[in-house]
Structure 1
């Protein structure tokens, strides 16, 4: 395979499965890695070693626990006001020690976080093959998102296997001369995680959220689900986003908004700007089963992370994905893809109101109608990792319908 780190690991002795390290730096990464870890454990051809590290290692551990997965290695990080270079240095040192203590046959990183980048580099320097999950995502602008776009491109340079969610992502890699058999389109494991979480749902722990869901199911109100990552937004842009949500609530008299958000500055800001609106429920971050259950009955979802946007088409729910410059917005490329917009008050309110008002009837789509996945991405990923390690043939790729 061109551009693949060689030599690849030699097959282990018969009866002994090679260990593959899956690195989760936050809750979002853990959601996407959990289905792959479960698939590896079910098939028993490779042994997953779950490593949590970074600022949100504890959150990643909690998410993995919700999927019935125990964290094998925890790399602690002490930020103490340090900037990105100092944090990256800590991550590199901690991950290098972890890989030295327990040498893996391959390392799987997800996305474009500083943790993913540091893990990829630490593995590369030890000549361990890097597998990049959610490879090929590009904005083609190194300044937005910053520094994530740079991380994506740099991880691609040292990866032995690129697992893309869509053919478009594979095409992005081809433009950078990453092609051939080492690029495998598998679909998004977020879709797998969504179906798994919905199967585990029982009821909401927060009685207010349960009351909202009951009213939605009874047809009394419509639901707007808002999922935001506090770390992504400077104060001024966050205020604009929340103003847009307030305008949306005032414009749609039958709309209930649920905003799960971690305790901190953004939550205080949300209470200041939305707390007086009776049709807004601000709650703690929800476990995946509860969050996906709300998503499945929502009229629309507004989010700044890819996971809910990729899960939404499986339930016929339109999505608005926030990011980019204020005032900018883009219509979906195809059916099932999200609208995109910058952190602009008027744009957010206008597009979301359009999505809510055009969502007249609930039509539950089959998994194959989701352009991001069919619920079998984790199995393809597991097979692709086996193929990289010389244990099986290359898997069949995901092709959206």
Structure 2
């Protein structure tokens, strides 16, 4: 049995690695451990609970006001000691977080094989998103196994010199997680907190909004809030639900701009299951989240992306999503279009999800168990 170590530090990593971990625990080919770095403490714990996962170990590295440098230094030291103690055969990291970056590089330093889940995403703009674009490029230098969600991601890796024998195109494990969850939550009203239930009684048609990325901090989030305020006043019968990220650069601005509007509900960060439930019944989404861009098409929900560039252009090309940026007038104009043109709405809602069919985890484990690198 190979010793497989799955590392996660943030909510998105946990969600996208949960189906892989649960499948690996049932496999006769692996002895699997789940390591939490605690990069995002509360949000990670909630996501783990949604999948009934208890980490084998927790580094508990989150500190108030930590910088990327201080977090990276702490991760390098803690992970190096952990690898020395447990001697994994393969370290699995996901996406483009600081946990993923340091986990991959620290394993590389130790001569441990690295499997990168969700490999090959690119904006080709090193500062957008920051530091994620840098992180995923570095991971592609040290990974032994590159699990690309789409053919476009695979093509990015090939252009950068990664051998085709080391790439498997398998879809995104986030879709695996979504499909595991959506049937559990669709008819479970008790998942939603009472204030949300009351809000939905008054506003059964609503837009779900998420915003958190660093490139939107400052002027960007102020512009987004100005657009939401204008739209809320323009459409008083339409609800807007915004789970507010805990980062003060987001939280303080959103609350100061949008509190007190009757058809805008600001909530705390939501657990994964309640968020999936809201996503499955919303009218459409405004978001700067990468994971939401992947998930919403499987639920037939159009996505208006609050970013200037995206490492997930497949959804744009398929017609599931539209890239707006964070300009107030542009956001208002595109929302007006989607609300007034049913043909445009249906075209986006009915577009096929390009990010996978829910079998990514099984494909990944098959490659790791066989020790082969055959591209698909």
Q: Tell me the TM-score normalized by structure 2.
A: 0.89
Q: Aligned-pair distance for 1:86?
A: 2.8
Structure-1 residue corresponding to 2:197: 210
What is the CA–CA distance in structure 2 between the aligned matches of 1:286 and 1:363, rounded to whole Å?
A: 29
8 Å contact from structure 2 (residues 211, 245) kept in 1: no
Q: Aligned-pair distance for 1:289?
A: 1.6
For 1:231-270, what aligned pairs fall within 5 Å after superposition? 233-263=216-246, 265=248, 266-270=250-254
Structure-2 residue corresponding to 1:146: 130
Q: Say whether 1:378 aligns with 2:361.
A: yes
In structure 2, do the counterparts of structure 1 residues 208 and 82 end up closer, same or farther at CA, with 3 Å as the change threshold? closer
Q: Aligned-pair distance for 1:172?
A: 0.9
3-state secondary structure, aligned to 2:305: strand
**Which ranges of structure 2 fall in alignment gaps of 5 or more residues?**
none
3-state secondary structure, aligned to 1:101: helix
3-state secondary structure, aligned to 2:128: coil
8 Å contact from structure 1 (residues 26, 54) kept in 2: yes
Structure-2 residue corresponding to 1:69: 53
Q: Tell me the TM-score normalized by structure 1.
A: 0.84
8 Å contact from structure 2 (residues 305, 324) kept in 1: yes
Structure-2 residue corresponding to 1:187: 171
In structure 2, do the counterparts of structure 1 residues 243 and 48 end up closer, same or farther at CA, with 3 Å as the change threshold? farther
For 1:323-334, what aligned pairs fall within 5 Å after superposition? 323-324=307-308, 333-334=316-317
**Which ranges of structure 1 fall in alignment gaps of 5 or more residues?**
1-16
What is the CA–CA distance in structure 2 between the aligned matches of 1:268 and 1:291, rounded to whole Å?
A: 22
In structure 2, do the counterparts of structure 1 residues 52 and 93 end up closer, same or farther at CA, with 3 Å as the change threshold? same
For 1:2-401, what aligned pairs fall within 5 Å after superposition? 17-77=1-61, 79=63, 81-201=65-185, 202-203=188-189, 204-213=191-200, 221-229=204-212, 233-263=216-246, 265=248, 266-324=250-308, 333-358=316-341, 369-388=352-371, 397=376
- Give the total of aligned pairs: 368
Q: Aligned-pair distance for 1:310?
A: 0.7
In structure 2, do the counterparts of structure 1 residues 155 and 256 end up closer, same or farther at CA, with 3 Å as the change threshold? same
What is the CA–CA distance in structure 1 between the aligned matches of 2:341 and 2:31, rounded to whole Å?
A: 46
Greater mean deviation of Cα atoms: 52-61 or 27-36 = 52-61
What is the CA–CA distance in structure 1 between the aligned matches of 2:267 and 2:72, rounded to whole Å?
A: 32
Structure with higher helix content: 2
3-state secondary structure, aligned to 1:369: coil
What is the CA–CA distance in structure 1 between the aligned matches of 2:315 and 2:90, rounded to whole Å?
A: 36
Structure-2 residue corresponding to 1:4: none
